[in-house]
Chain A
Amino acid sequence: TQLLEQSPQFLSIQEGENLTVYCNSSSVFSSLQWYRQEPGEGPVLLVTVVTGGEVKKLKRLTFQFGDARKDSSLHITAAQPGDTGLYLCAGAGGQNFVFGPGTRLSVLP
């Protein structure tokens, strides 16, 4: 069974700070996606990474896929209150996705 772990589980920071959250597994994934979920809504896709070592940037968010395609990180520069939410990683393995438990981020003004 493929499993994804995410750390930290919870993170509360002040506006303007930088942060990194992690998504780790002992399994290799063909691709990995990051989603953000706000209260009362479904997850929304942020990015898909496919190639080992790949780095993608989305404004203040930087996503990296590990060289061995077993792990990924999400770095947010100068966090804003609008970044508050649950960040989920999902690995593509077999026919379907495996989701991590998420990192709940709170950015305080």
Chain B
Amino acid sequence: NAGVTQTPKFRVLKTGQSMTLLCAQDMNHEYMYWYRQDPGMGLRLIHYSVGEGTTAKGEVPDGYNVSRLKKQNFLLGLESAAPSQTSVYFCASSNLLRSPLHFGNGTRLTVT
């Protein structure tokens, strides 16, 4: 079982460049989430989706955009990367609201 798959695993960007992180889940989950993880700060919610075609802002949405065109995919975009966006990004999915989260293995992004 693949579960939640994130691509790429690592990426280095220069300030001002753009990129898209892809998350795919094969569990038919309705809810999908993007988190960032920084040392000492835990996981912070960037954006989330409660179903295909829907997106909503989380705790730290500025500088990011998302799209959920297909139920199994949730894309996170950085239009103009900044050094403050250096982090490890995790995608997660769940079947129901507030049910256990299934995480991917993360994307480590460095912005120089």
Check if B98 sits within 8 Å of A99, measured CB to CB.
Answer: no
Q: A31-B98, A92-B98, A96-B58 are in contact. Are A42 and B104 (CB under 8 A)?
A: yes
Given the interface contacts A92-B98, A96-B58, does A101 sit within 8 Å of B40 by beta carbon? yes
If the complex has contacts A41-B106, A42-B103, A43-B103, are A99 and B58 also in contact, measured as CB distance less than 8 A?
no
**B103 to A99, Cβ gap below 8 A?**
no
Which stretch, B14-22, B42-50, B69-77, B79-87, touches the partner chain A?
Answer: B42-50
Chain A residues with CB below 8 A from B102, complex form? 45
A45 touches B100 (CB 8 A): yes
Q: Can you name the residue of chain A whose Cβ is closest to the Cβ of B100?
A: A45
Q: Provide the residues of chain B in CB contact with A92, threshold 8 Å.
A: 98
Which residues of the partner chain A approach B43 to less than 8 Å between Cβ atoms? 43, 88, 90, 99
Give the B interface residue count (CB, 8 A). Answer: 22
Q: Does A48 contact B (CB under 8 A)?
A: yes
> What total of chain A residues lie within 8 Å of the partner, measured CB to CB?
23
Q: Out of B35, B98, B105, which one reaches A40, CB within 8 Å? A: B105
Q: Are A41 and B42 closer than 8 Å at their CB atoms?
A: no
A99 touches B48 (CB 8 A): no
Residue B92 lies at the interface, judged by CB distance under 8 Å to chain A? yes
Give me the interface of A with B, judged by CB distance under 8 Å. Answer: 4, 9, 30-31, 33, 35, 40-45, 48, 88, 90, 92, 95-97, 99-102
- Listed in ascending order, the chain B residues whose CB lies under 8 Å from chain A are 4, 33, 35, 40-45, 48, 58, 90, 92, 97-98, 100-106
Q: List 14 A-B contacts (CB under 8 A).
A: A30-B98, A35-B101, A40-B106, A41-B105, A43-B101, A88-B43, A92-B98, A96-B33, A96-B45, A96-B98, A99-B35, A100-B42, A101-B41, A101-B42
